[in-house]
Structure 1
Amino acid sequence: MIAHRIRRPAIHALIALATVAPLTPARPTSDSPLAARPNGMKSAEPTHHVFIGATVHPEPGVVWQDGYIEIRDGVIVQAMDAATATLALPGDAVIHDLTGEHIYPAFIDPYIEVDAPAPDAPGKHWSREVTPRRSALDGGGIDPDTAADRRDLGFAAGVIAPKGGVFAGSAAVVSLAERPDDPSAEWQGVYRDNVFQCLRFKRNGWEGTYPTSVPGAVALIRQTLIDADWQARQVPTRDGSHPADALTPLEDASTPLLFDCDHELKTFLAADIASEFSRPAVLLGSGMEFKWLDGIADLGLPIIIPLRFPAKPDVSTVGKAESVELETMMTWEQAPTNPRRLREKMPDTDLALTASRLPRGRDFLDELRLAIENGLGEDDALAMLTTAPARLAGVADQLGTIENGKRANLLITSGPVFDEDTDFYDIWIDGVPHTLTDRPGPDFDGTWHFFVGPEDKPFFEMTLEITGSHDSPNVVGTETWGEEGEQEPHSAQARKVVIEDNRISFLLDDEDDQRVTYIISGVLAENGLIRGTAVGPDDNTFQWAARKTGEPEDQADEPEQKQEQEPDDDDFEQAPPLPGYPFGPYAVKYE
């Protein structure tokens, strides 16, 4: 990424900057007049940035080949396709030329569990499993390691929900940004509070406290909602006319209920409860919805989908193969089709993906690519990570797309976001960059003409062959000497080769010069020429330069041919149609 403050003629002419009202947080921040003032100098980090040259994906299904994004104070003030307008760069902005890279709206994870203490206030519920007054913000919120892991996957925001309980408490949408060390720097931690009331069909076992079964949990949920509705009508507490108690948050029937359905059949229990009490509902799925696809689709409720794909069953021996149930094999085969099948059956319903509840040792992006291989469209996948979770969490006015007035939450990648070879370079959260992967430095690989003195009539020249500049650099210097007509090339392997960014240095032994060693270093300029300094054995220094004359030879043909001869055991095969109901070897087939 190149940051500079110069005008670029390719951006044509001046555009008027859109004025944007500041976004109001749900809870007091450092902007509050009551907040403590930081002790020290005010942060001087630039807050006005312009991104040019990148391929921008402002929303699913839309692509700007030459995008222009301008952000100020953490908010997008101008986003557009530069190919359709005449632009000039603002003089006070830091310009980031991202030619060849891609920019996406940063992802939103709609479900991340966090620890939160139970409320210690008058009016507790008789069951310790009913804590609607508990908030995911009451504890430490999301821990730094979890936030960093999510940023690495492209997430800039997440919905955090309290762990445990039948009525676990309220969820909140929070930033996944790293909290700045500078106390004077702006930091927006909470985007929206009280997003959902989180419910689980939790059972404590026969030796535990009530509820000890799923039917008991259903009964507790229903009775609690009956009590909350009665309280809202008879002795309301939300308006302050009566003392607040455990049921106060449930008096607001407009707050969606988020049901944790860790088994696909629990979705029907959740739908029945939501319908009975006329409450909006969102389902946190099990990842196995394909087993009851038609019935779940008919519910029409938004679903948060975990990518819980079973591991490949071990059938390497006769004994192991006989011990694996046919339904286990069928589940392994069909699970990666779950996001695609839900999307096909529920085209007008918000479906979102979460990185939570992955099987141990799995990578979210790998599992997502597997879902795409199994038919999930890339635009649908992007929507499930951006626009759909933004709508579910009630923050579509702030997040989910790249457009004027929204928060500057951007994901910058080396290529299309779902390609296996794509690197995630940076994630910007509220206009603050977080580096995910260093960009590769200039490519030194190839054949170079090394010369001392004028290029057309050098005092000395040789050929440098440079390979492996990005991982294991290697340099071979070759010069030709001998009597006229009998000249032969002589090569020497360089030692201590170091390539960092656009700098190269190495030691080169010269056997023709009584086995002396030259210390050589240089810098690759934007014009493609390496210029540097060398130190000879007598400590005299001289200037040198090198120009690339050829690309490295491709040595990958033989391994590719070998790979074609030996097909991978894990080659992808499309899953067959679903067998019918109930899912398994004895299903009744669809007509």
Structure 2
Amino acid sequence: MKICTNPKLLSSLIVAVFFILSLKTHAQSDPSGSRRVTSSYAITNATITTSPGQTVQGATILFKDGLITAIGTNVTIPKGTDVLKGDSLFIYPGFIDGASSAGVSRPADPERPANFDSSNPSDEQAGITPWRSVLDHHDAQQNAIGDWRKAGITIAQIIPDGGMLPGKASIITFGSTSSTNILAENTALAAKFRGSRGVYPGTPLGVMAKFRDVYKNAELSYTHTKLFSNNNGLNRPEINKTYQALFPVLDKNIPVIFEVSNDLEIRRALRLQKELGFKLVLSGVTEVEHLISEIKEAKAVILLSLALPEDKTKANEDATEEYKARTARVKEAYEQALKQAAILEKEGIKFGFSTAGSKSGDLMKNLQIMIENGLTEKTALAALSIHNAENLGIQKYAGTLEKGKLANMVITTAPLFSKDAQVKHIIADGYVFDYETKSKKISSEKSNSSNGDIAGEWEYTSDTPAGSSGGLMKIEGSGSNLKGSITYDDPAGNGTAQADMKDIKFQDDNLSFSFDVSAGGMDIKVNVSGEIDGSQFSGQISLGEFGSFPMNASRKPTTRTTSKSLSK
């Protein structure tokens, strides 16, 4: 049998296997957001936070044609206005993502000629493509955008994927797919400490050297071009699209947004900025406590990662003293990672957030963890809204709720950072997206849900236009000692296959785990998360860039053998 090894085709195949031919969100009045408000729309008697620290109770917000037209406690509602009673609702400015990969695909690598020299590749072969626009490789209909919108993101700066200089970013709104949704193009030059495999520059130090070389040559080209346009008697400059693409960076019209994953990469980016003088944005930051003075000196914009590390420091009473000491150091590093946002706030650095590398379902949970570790709720909201609006230069029409600004809102059933908060509506670019919310179970009901025991066999299903498919989850153990397996339709067409359930976590009725699907020699990671109510599971399957899709399961009844005594 011939096995397909085309990654794109395999991904599509896995998508089909896991029932994600289309997304069916049940019990949602308008999950598509197709009803943009062209007549006036009012939400009345709600608790409205117009900006971080500024909240008005019993207020009304009125909007039309994608713009806020009035907000306050004495708003006159025009005749014919659609009215939503917001008596128990809380309204906040729509979240803004400083650096997002939602809907972005990586361009195909260029073919290498027969006489290819890996020590002297072309710019494109070396991953140096600053002339590219992220919009040329962006799909506004990708399911990941819907997932992030449901989490509260209404505007995002999307970053191109690729090599060390993959191209320029753009700012879009997460409104209707029938619109271009473009707010601004070419807003930053993306950069990474990652070279192309097998060619120069292939190492972080090589990337730094190459970045200096490209930047300095761009400066010479820029100077020559300006002299030629203003003087005679000069040879015409040679047009080089790589160098021309850096001209807005040299003019300081746009920043370089460096993707960094640790403090060493932050230091490298800061060193380049200090040498060359460009405007710098550090994206995906996770470690800052030892670099505060350098960040302030560079006036660098910080986009803190919304991804948090997992706690892998479970105690083991039987462990050796050496192991316990090592675990203690790991635990200290883990706890410090949770305090990075609080450290930035304490130091007076106005940071924003980036979703790149994180999961939409973890957004609020991770924010709550940061708040538990010292971040104030006011600054958390600011980092999600006005700080990123100011960083992106869009504060005139986004970041707060004011008359004349874009109608971008997050509407929840409880205060935003409380454990009980659920997203009820998202308004993005004036389009209204409605989401199903669940009533919280009271403690007496929780006591009837098998006392937190999820061991057993669970039959799961997912319905798509192609029909209903599913498999079986078998879970053993309890507490932190859970293990299990899951069956699924074999992508190779050989009936069913089975995989181990990894990282199984069950807490407060929430179950999550992952497993790997093998197809054509590749392992694709699938994440599952959801809520258990008694013998029922309701959740989602997440498959990376393809988004998240509904999954439901029921626990199979346990068969018990009983003995009976016979009597006359």
CA contact (8 A) 2:44 2:85 kept: yes
Does 1:364 find its partner at 2:363?
A: yes
Q: Does 1:190 align with 2:155?
A: no
Q: Which residue of 2 aligns with 1:316?
A: 316
Sort the Cα spacing of 1:362 and 1:412 in 2 relative to 1 into closer, same or farther, 3 A: closer
| TM-score with structure 2 setting the length | 0.63
- 1:393-472 matched pairs, under 5 angstroms: 393-438=392-437
CA distance in 1, matches of 2:258, 2:305: 14
Letter in 1 for 2:331: M
Q: CA deviation at 1:316?
A: 2.3
Distance (whole Å) between structure 2 residues aligned to residue 232 and residue 119 of structure 1 = 29
What is the CA–CA distance in structure 2 between the aligned matches of 1:297 and 1:265, rounded to whole Å?
17
User: Aligned partners of 1:343 and 1:44: how far apart in 2?
Assistant: 37
The match for 1:103 is: 91
Aligned partners of 1:415, 1:327: CA distance in 2, in Å? 38
Structure of greater relative contact order (alpha carbons < 8 Å, 6+ residues apart)? 2
Instruction: Supply the distance in 1 between the matched residues of 2:360 and 2:80 (Cα, whole angstroms).
Output: 46
**Secondary structure in structure 2 of the residue aligned to 1:357:** coil
Structure 1 residue aligned with 2:329: 327
In the alignment, what sits opposite 1:290? 289
Equivalent AA in structure 2 for residue 369 of structure 1: Q
Look up the match of 1:341.
Answer: 343
Give 1:129 deviation, angstroms: 1.4
Q: What does 1:215-294 align with in structure 2 at a 5 Å threshold?
A: 215-235=205-225, 243=239, 245-252=241-248, 253=250, 254=252, 255-294=254-293
The structural deviation recorded for 1:237 is 12
Residue 314 of structure 1 contacts residue 320 of structure 1 at CA under 8 Å; is this kept in 2?
no
Structure 2 portions without partners, runs of 5+:
1-33, 111-121, 230-235, 450-507, 509-568
Distance 1:361 1:416, change over 3 A: closer
Q: Which residue of 1 aligns with 2:560?
A: none
What amino acid is aligned across from residue 375 of structure 1 in structure 2? G
Quote the Cα distance in structure 2 between the aligned partners of 1:371 and 1:55.
24
Structure 1 stretch 224-233 or stretch 245-254: which is displaced more? 245-254
Q: Which residue of 2 aligns with 1:377?
A: 376
The CA distance in 2 between the partners of 1:264 and 1:342, in whole Å, is 14
- Displacement of 1:176: 1.8
- CA offset at residue 158 of structure 1? 1.1
Does the alignment pair 1:94 with 2:82? Answer: yes
Separation in 2, partners of 1:440, 1:329: 36
Q: Residues 128-157 of structure 1, C-alpha deviation per residue, up to 9 Å, x if partnerless?
A: 311001111012345521111111211111
Work out the CA distance in 1 between the residues paired with 2:169 and 2:139: 10
Alpha-carbon distance between aligned partners in 1 of 2:193 and 2:227, rounded to the nearest angstrom: 27
What is the aligned-residue RMSD (CA, Å)?
A: 3.4
> Who wins on radius of gyration, i.e. which is larger?
1
Residue identity opposite 1:417 in structure 2: L
For the residues of structure 2 that align with 1:227 and 1:291, how far apart are their CA atoms? 33
Q: Is the 8 Å Cα contact of residues 411 and 426 (structure 2) preserved in structure 1?
A: yes
Spell out the pairing of 1:1-16 with structure 2 (5 A cutoff).
Answer: none
- Give the drift of 1:228: 1.1
C-alpha offsets along residues 236-275 of structure 1, whole Å, 9 cap, x if unaligned?
6999997561222211222111011212122222123223
Equivalent position amino acid for 1:107 in 2: F
Which residue of the partner structure matches residue 577 of structure 1?
none
Change in Cα spacing, 1:71 to 1:420, as seen in structure 2 (3 Å) is same
- Report the CA distance between 1:179 and its aligned residue: 1.5
Task: Please give the alpha-carbon distance, in whole angstroms, between the structure 2 residues aligned to 1:227 and 1:233.
Answer: 10
Residue 112 (1) aligns with residue 100 (2): yes
Q: Could you tell me how far apart the structure 1 residues matched to 2:217 and 2:39 are?
A: 50
**What is the alpha-carbon distance in structure 2 between the residues aligned to residue 126 and residue 158 of structure 1?**
27
Matched, 1:75 2:77: no
Which residue in 2 is equivalent to 1:211? 201
- Are the counterparts in 1 of residues 256 and 280 from structure 2 also a CA contact under 8 Å? yes
1:368 Cα deviation after fit: 0.8
CA contact 1:232–1:251 (8 Å) conserved in 2: yes
Residues of 1 paired with 2:421 and 2:35: CA distance? 34
The number of residue pairs the alignment matches comes to 390
1:137 has 2:127 as partner: no
Q: Say whether the 8 Å CA contact 1:47–1:74 is kept in structure 2.
A: no
Deviation at 1:365, TM superposition (A): 1.2
Q: From 45, 50, 53, give the equivalent of 1:53.
A: 45
User: What is the identity, as a one-letter code, of the residue corresponding to 1:161?
Assistant: I
Segments ≥4 residues shifted beyond 6 Å: 42-45, 237-242
User: Is the CA contact 1:286–1:308 (under 8 Å) kept in the aligned structure 2?
Assistant: no
Between the aligned partners of 2:237 and 2:215, the Cα distance in structure 1 is 20
Query: Kindly tell me: are residues 138 and 100 of structure 1, through their superposed partners in 2, closer, same or farther at Cα, counting changes over 3 Å?
Result: same
> Per the alignment, do residues 320 and 195 of structure 1 end up closer, same or farther by CA in structure 2, a change over 3 Å counting?
farther
Per residue, is there more helix in 1 or in 2?
Answer: 2
Choose the corresponding residue for 2:166, options 146, 152, 168: 168
What is the CA distance between 1:342 and its match in structure 2? 1.1
Does the 8 Å CA contact 1:144/1:178 hold for their aligned counterparts?
no
- Which residue is equivalent to 1:199? 191
Residue 115 and residue 44 in structure 1: after superposition, are their counterparts in 2 closer, same or farther (change >3 A)? closer
Q: Tell me the TM-score normalized by structure 1.
A: 0.60
For 1:413 and 1:101, how far apart are their aligned partners in 2? Answer: 6
Cα–Cα, structure 1 residues 142 and 339, in superposed 2: closer, same or farther, change >3 Å? farther
